[in-house]
Amino acid sequence: NAGVTQTPKFQVLKTGQSMTLQCAQDMNHNSMYWYRQDPGMGLRLIYYSASEGTTDKGEVPNGYNVSRLNKREFSLRLESAAPSQTSVYFCASKFGQGSSGANVLTFGAGSRLTVL
Amino acid sequence: QKEVEQNSGPLSVPEGAIASLNCTYSDRGSQSFFWYRQYSGKSPELIMSIYSNGDKEDGRFTAQLNKASQYVSLLIRDSQPSDSATYLCAVILSTYNNDMRFGAGTRLTVKP
């Protein structure tokens, strides 16, 4: 059982280049998330997808686009990378809602992105 | 104002002591609260979830929730060096049931 798989684990880009971070989960989860983590700032929500076919902005969506390709996959695209997007990116997923284990996030291993 | 606020620390306690971690949130309608632990260079992992006012205990960990004060805390009893990590408070916002926000995290060091 792989859980949440992110690719690539490391990437170096030049300013203005584009790239896509891939995320896939095999737990039949409905909701998927992209967070970025910078020193001293915790996890900041970029975008999330509550269910297949829907996406919503989080607190820091500017400069990013997402695609919920199917129930398993949720990708994050940087169209024109900027040094301010240097960060560690985490994909996460959860089953659903309610006061239960359905709300627990499972995280991928993270993707470290450097923009020069 | 951020939706979730934590003291960034660092917090240092001796082995065997009680570590107390605090979190406040701004969305009065929030109903679901979580504590995650993150070791350096690793992904966050769930420690506790809490949904009702009061205390919830799981082994050496106790989560406390006070919705009137919009306050969540985590107590770690008999702290061990292996508890040294960053602890992240997370809250699901009431506006959208799937919008989960995190605090900046508190770095805890347990000294032998």
Q: Which residue(s) pair with A4 in the sheet?
A: A25
Residue B88 contacts A where some CB pair is shorter than 8 Å: yes
Place of tokens 């350096």: B40
3-state secondary structure of B91: strand
For residue range A3-44, list pLDDT tens digits in order. Answer: 999 999 999 999 999 999 999 999 999 999 999 999 888 899
CB A46 within 8 A of CB A34: yes
Q: Please count the CA atoms within 13 angstroms of the CA of A98 that sit on its side-chain side.
A: 5
State the smallest CA–CA distance between residue B90 and chain A in angstroms.
Answer: 9
Residue A34 contacts B where some CB pair is shorter than 8 Å: no
What is the spatial distance between Cα A13 and Cα A94, in angstroms, rounded to a whole number?
Answer: 30
Q: Return the percentage of chain A with pLDDT > 70, whole number.
A: 95
Contacts of A110 in chain B (CB under 8 A): 43
A94: nearest CA partner in chain B:
B98
Q: Residue A100 — very low, low, confident or very high, per pLDDT cuts 50/70/90?
A: low
Q: Buried b vs exposed e over B35-60: b needs ≥16 C-beta within 10 Å?
A: bbbbeeeebbebbbbbbeeeeeeeee
Beta carbons of A56 and B92 less than 8 Å apart: no
For residue range B30-81, list pLDDT tens digits in order. Answer: 989 999 999 999 999 999 999 999 999 999 999 999 999 999 999 999 999 9
Mean pLDDT of the A61-70 span: 95
Please report the pLDDT score of residue B97 as a whole number. Answer: 65
Beta carbons of B100 and A59 less than 8 Å apart: no
pLDDT at B87 over 70: yes
